[in-house]
Amino acid sequence: DTAVSQTPKYLVTQMGNDKSIKCEQNLGHDTMYWYKQDSKKFLKIMFSYNNKELIINETVPNRFSPKSPDKAHLNLHINSLELGDSAVYFCASSQDLGAAGNTIYFGEGSWLTVV
């Protein structure tokens, strides 16, 4: 059973389109995240949610809108896609928010290519 699963794994889409990436965790964790790994391989946090409440929003453009219907799901919706949005997006979860030594579990990543 995959602990953190995200779909789709690969997505190629045109500029200007709107797309969503779904994420689910079956670990019973309270906190979920979205990370982005860009072409320079930087792995940076975008958002974190704790019990469906937005905690961290790292100056991500408004075109990115996370939605957490329950604490086991955190979906990422992206409007008006731009070429620079091409990256790998990782969903992740952890038991608590920011607790020392709190291990974060990652999904396999979603490869988004905007053409």
Partner 1 sequence: DQQVKQNSPSLSVQEGRISILNCDYTNSMFDYFLWYKKYPAEGPTFLISISSIKDKNEDGRFTVFLNKSAKHLSLHIVPSQPGDSAVYFCAASGFGKLIFGTGTRLQVFP
Interface with partner 1 (CB under 8 A): 4, 33, 35, 40-45, 48, 55-56, 90, 92, 97-98, 100-109
- Name the minimum Å distance from CB 11 to partner 1: 14
Give whichever of 52 and 79 is closer to partner 1, judged by the CB atom.
52
Min CB(80)–partner 1 separation in Å: 27
Min dist. Cβ of residue 1 to partner 1 (A): 15
Residue number, 35 or 66, with CB nearest to partner 1:
35
Nearer to partner 1, 14 or 100 (CB): 100
| Closer residue to partner 1 in complex, CB, 20/106 | 106
Q: What is the DSSP string of the chain?
A: --SEEEE-SEEEE-TT--EEEEEEE-S--SEEEEEEE-TT--EEEEEEEETTEEEEE-S--TTEEEEEEETTEEEEEE-S--GGG-EEEEEEEESSSS-TT---EE---EEEEE-
Cβ neighbours, 10 Å, residue 81 = 21
